[in-house]
Amino acid sequence: MDSMADINSPWVDPEVLSMPDNHPGLSDKDYVRRRRMFFYSAREHRLRKLPSPHFVYLDEETDLWQSVFKRLDDLHARHAARVYLDGRDALRIERRRIPNLGELDRTLQASTGVRLVPAEGLLHGKTYFELWADRVMPCTQFLRHASQPEYTPEPDAIHDIIGHVPPLMDDAYVQLIEVVGQMARQVDAERLEHLVRFYWFTIEFGLIEERGETRVLGAGILSSIGELEHAISNDVEIRPFELNNVLATGFDNTHLQSVLYKAGSLDEIIAAAEALRNRWKLA
Ligand SMILES: [Fe+2]
């Protein structure tokens, strides 16, 4: 898949790809070129609804995956929610190698019916959530820049595959993303903003209680060494999950999170999503 033909695909406007100004890989020409190849390929496959492309990862990409995975793995064993750990094991997402989307997709489809589609980068919120209504999860395949293994200004394979994909093996969790997706299809911009807050404090940064312990559900925490260490420190304010408070709480995605919400269980979060749908009188 790593060919110039993909880079020069007529399918997309080359100007569409922009890396944020603070991207650590901006001055690394080889990285920018490879990031561009992933971008074109993912965008074309997503928009033309083609099967996920298969990538052969470079040694340095696998090294980066392995070093981040090793550090996260120790923290996951102690702090991740059961629904996450079970899904990760069942999908055989492991330190050894970066999985391709096709193999994860096959296992997910046979289990919960979720499909993975390649994402070229951060998708617009509405586009991203609306896919969830059809049990489709957009997923990036490129990796962050190796100079900053703990930081990425955009979602990458470490965030998406390690953070978001594992709980998709669980029917209840999939019900949650489906309800959020269904709501996203029907709401106006103001309600979408509230829905984003709900997603942020659950799917992205949520905590739940399991057997009297605080466990991490959110992909943004589970895919980030910094956020994980921060979430279990005394520097973060953990509030009990309450729908109205969650909807009233803003967030800053450029810094470590200062406020997190902890629900009694995944079921409590799903019930809150259903309550929101009823409150807004949505189908
Ligand atoms: Fe995310």
| Beta-strand pair 136-139/237-240 | unpaired
Domain ranges of the chain: 58-279
278 Cα–ligand 1 center, Å: 26
* 3 backbone φψ class: left, alpha, beta (φ>0; ψ -120 to 50): beta
One pLDDT digit (tens) per residue for the chain, 283 residues: 333 334 444 444 555 567 878 889 999 999 999 999 999 899 889 989 999 999 999 999 999 999 999 999 999 999 999 999 999 999 999 999 999 999 999 999 999 999 999 999 888 888 899 999 999 999 999 999 999 998 888 899 999 999 999 999 999 999 999 999 999 999 999 999 999 999 999 999 999 999 999 999 999 999 999 999 999 999 999 999 999 999 999 998 888 999 999 999 999 999 999 999 999 999 9
279 Cα–ligand 1 center, Å: 26
CATH architecture of 58-279: Orthogonal Bundle (1.10)
pLDDT of residue 50: 93
Q: Whole-angstrom Cα distance, residue 166 to residue 81?
A: 11
pLDDT of residue 1: 37
Give the distance from CA 25 to its chain's centroid.
21
| Beta-strand pair 237-240/213-216 | unpaired
Give Rg (Cα) of the chain: 18
3-state percent breakdown (helix, strand, coil) of the chain, nearest 5: 55, 10, 40
Q: Is 223 a catalytic residue?
A: yes
Q: Whole-angstrom Cα distance, residue 162 to residue 80?
A: 12
Considering 61, 159, 178, 224, which one is annotated as catalytic?
Answer: 159
Q: Whole-angstrom Cα distance, residue 127 to residue 137?
A: 11
154 Cα–ligand 1 center, Å: 9
Q: Which residues pair with 136 in a beta bridge?
A: 115
Q: Whole-angstrom Cα distance, residue 195 to residue 57?
A: 36
Q: Is 237 a catalytic residue?
A: no
Considering 41, 79, 164, 224, which one is annotated as catalytic?
Answer: 164
Q: What is the pTM of this model?
A: 0.92
- Helix (H) / strand (E) element for 116: namely strand 115-118
pLDDT of residue 16: 56
170 Cα–ligand 1 center, Å: 18
- Edge-to-edge, what's the strand order for the sheet holding 259-263? 213-216, 207-210, 259-263, 237-240
163 Cα–ligand 1 center, Å: 7
Q: Whole-angstrom Cα distance, residue 274 to residue 276?
A: 5
**CB-side exposure of 29: number of CA atoms within 13 Å?**
0
13 Cα–ligand 1 center, Å: 25
